[in-house]
Copies of this chain bind each other. A is one copy, B any other.
Amino acid sequence: MTSHVALVSRALGCQKIYMTYLDDSISKTVNDINKRWGGKDQFEIEYVTDWKKLVASWKKNGGLVVHLTMYGINVNDMLPKIDIKRKILVVVGASKVPREVYTMANFNIAIGHQPHSEISALAIFLDRLSNGTELKKIFKDAKINIIPSKDGKNIRIS
């Protein structure tokens, strides 16, 4: 699950993922992908021991904190209120998100009010936020590049 959250973040234009626990398999996945598909200077993982400190300093430095939760206000209503010129920290979690996240976040936003997953919620939010432009993102230093194809697989390896 968390590996997919990391890959969605990378593919949809985030610069970093902060994680509150160490997981070598996720670092390995991201490093492998960055090595083959590019982006080792564009996307990284950072482990944080104190998420509250991160959130507080993010806000203090002028950034916005957006928590994705099905209990929040619908993204269709909230998206126009997000100032995309500010640095945005998106918080996603499994079912046990601490209560303080809801009060510390600038916005609690629902990617719909039905259960699905943090992977899909993050994907839709990032796609909406970037107005689709990140899906054309190019990574520097990629060894593998896909050449879009109507009906097959076409890759360029360098």
Please, which residues of chain B bring their CB within 8 A of the CB of A134? 112
Which of the four size classes fits the interface of chain A?
35 or more
Q: Is the CB of A152 within 8 A of B71?
A: yes
Q: Is the CB of A149 within 8 A of B73?
A: yes
Q: Looking at the complex, which one of B105, B113, B139, B148 makes contact with A148 (CB distance below 8 Å)?
A: B113
Q: In residues 1-24 of chain A, which contact B (Cβ within 8 Å)? A: 4, 7-8, 10-12
A94 within 8 A of B: no
Q: How far is it, in angstroms, between the C-alpha of A136 and the C-alpha of B112 when the chains are bound?
A: 6
Q: Is the CB of A135 within 8 A of B112?
A: yes
A7 → B minimal CB distance (Å): 4
Residues of A within 8 A of B (CB): 4, 7-8, 10-12, 33, 37, 70-76, 102-103, 105, 108, 110-117, 119-124, 127-128, 132, 134-137, 139, 145-146, 148-155
Q: 14 extra interchain contacts, Cβ-Cβ under 8 A, other than A4-B120, A7-B116, A121-B123?
A: A4-B119, A7-B117, A8-B117, A11-B120, A71-B154, A72-B148, A73-B150, A108-B149, A110-B135, A110-B146, A110-B148, A120-B123, A124-B127, A127-B128
